[in-house]
Each structure stands twice: as structure tokens, then as C-alpha cells.
Amino acid sequence: MKFGRIVLAVLCASFALSSAAIAQDDAEKAIEQYRKKLKEDPWSNPGLLDADRGEVLWKTPRGPNNVSLEKCDLGKGPGVVDGAFAELPRFFEDAGKVMDVETRILWCMVNLQGFNRADLVKNPHPAGGKPVKELGAIATYVANKSNGMKFAAKLDTPQAKPVVKLGEELFFRRSGPFDFSCASCHSNPGQRIRLQALPHLSDPKEARIAVGEWPGYRVSSSHVMTMQHRVYDCYWQMRMPRVELGSDATVAIIAYLTKQAEGGEISAPSIKR
């Protein structure tokens, strides 16, 4: 009798599990179809409006110095935007640092336009439903100007190599109250949390697709999310202290992810779930 009850319980549990798995698969398929529809009509991507806003911000004289960002050197010479994102992060002689796109724009906003760095990094990411901030809109514009190109950042230079190595170490380092690393959620094939598939970012095949989709318009929060914001949010999921935009840690992680994605195609802004 007791044994019968156990068998029944096991059967019920396995039925519940399998029907949950079916529901999950159906939902994932529906989400995939929805994404596909949005992608079939590229002009339906609201992130392009932010790229346009970013272009205006780039070209408009602003800040205490009342200059535009057209003298900002993203690595290919002052003012050159076309193809610059495809070669970032990179080492910048003038700053003595490796920088990703957002960190470099921040540097130009501070050093050319005279904005106060502390103000810009205080609250740099938008809340749900709010549009991406100015820096993020400019990054969206810059990334969009490398759309269709392949990641070709020069990360094998003596200055960049240690930064990529630090990023790799941070990616695999368990820390925080949950004792998670990035790898806990992003280094297993086919892993997911609830309905979200978790890309296997230490596998170049998946990294090439995932990394190339940032910045992306995130439907569930109705705004463009940048890579600095993505890393910030994942660190928050690990219950780590708020990581600063442009910090050595975020730049190193982005350098590592970009190295993993080398040769992958850029499709920014993309549409995320």
C-alpha cells in the first residue's frame, strides 16, 4: 500500500514535470515566432529611433564646453563612426586604457564636452519603460554604424591581452552571497532560467550570436539595453554591489565576451525578448 502511494506520487510528479516542459516549449516557440515577425520587418525595431536620437546627440554641440562629439576618436580617427564599433574594445593611447564603446563615449563626453563624470555614471541605465539614456543612445548609434560587419577588435595587443584575461577570470570567478559566477548561468549548453534560454557565452559559437545583438531593444522592458547595462544587470542577479559603468571590471568582461565573439556578425540594435 505504502509502495503503491509512492509509485503514484512519482507518476504524478513526472506527469507534472513533463506537462510543464511541454508548456515551456510551446511558450518558447511562441516567443521565437514573435521575435521572427519583428525581425522580418526591420523598420519595426523601436531601437532605431534611439540610434537616430544618438546621431543627433553626437552631432550637437553640448556640455559646458559646447562642442559636439565629432572630434571624439573612437579608434579610427576623430569623428570616424563607420566601422568603429567593430574594432572595440581597444587600447586608447590618450586615456592609457582599454575601453569599450560606452566607456569611450563617456571619456569623450567628459574630456571634450566637459560633462562631470560622476553625474554621468551615477544612474546611467534606464528603469523599465524609460528610454535608454543619452550615453546609451549614442552607443546605439555608433554600434548601428557597424551593422552587418564582423567583430574584429584588436585584443591581442600587449595592452589588451591582460584585460581580456582579467575578464575571463571575472567570468569564471564565483562571488557574492549566492556564490555565483557568470559561468554558473552561461557556461552550460541548453541551460535556462524559467523561460529564458541562457546563452553559453564561453562557447564562441553561441557568443558570436549573442554578443553581436547588443545594444538591443528589449521588448519586456520597452527600451534599448546596452552591453554595460546587461553586465550591470547580471551582476545584480548575482547580488553583487552595483558595478560602475566604465569600471575596469565591466570593460574587462566586455573585452572577454568580445574576444569570444570574434568573427561574429554585428546586428545592432537587435530585438531581444
Interacting residue ranges for ligand HEC, rule: CB under 6 A: 180, 182, 184-186, 193, 196, 198-199, 201, 210, 213, 230-231, 234-235, 237-238, 253, 257, 273
In this structure, is the dihedral angle defined by the CA atoms of residues 115, 87, 227 and 56, taken in order, positive or negative?
positive
CA pair distance 190, 24, nearest whole angstrom: 13
The C-alpha cell of 221 is what? 522592458
Residue 110 or 231 having the CB closest to ligand HEC: 231
Residue 113 or 258 having the CB closest to ligand HEC: 258
Residue 149 or 197 having the CB closest to ligand HEC: 197
Residue 253 or 266 having the CB closest to ligand HEC: 253
Shortest distance, CB of residue 202 to ligand HEC, whole angstroms? 10
CB 113 within 8 A of CB 62: yes
- Residue 234 annotated in active site: yes
- Alpha carbon separation from 264 to 4, 91, 208, 235 (Å, rounded): 55, 21, 4, 25
With cell 552571497, the residue in question is 177
Q: Which residue is nearest to ligand HEC (CB)?
A: 182
Shortest distance, CB of residue 54 to ligand HEC, whole angstroms? 20
In this structure, is the dihedral angle defined by the CA atoms of residues 213, 30, 131 and 244, taken in order, positive or negative?
negative
CA pair distance 252, 238, nearest whole angstrom: 18
The C-alpha cell of 169 is what? 577570470
Residue 82 or 169 having the CB closest to ligand HEC: 169
Shortest distance, CB of residue 192 to ligand HEC, whole angstroms? 8
The C-alpha cell of 205 is what? 559559437
Shortest distance, CB of residue 238 to ligand HEC, whole angstroms? 5
Shortest distance, CB of residue 180 to ligand HEC, whole angstroms? 4
Catalytic pick among 12, 182, 185, 234: 234
The C-alpha cell of 50 is what? 534611439
CB 260 within 8 A of CB 201: yes
Catalytic residues: 234
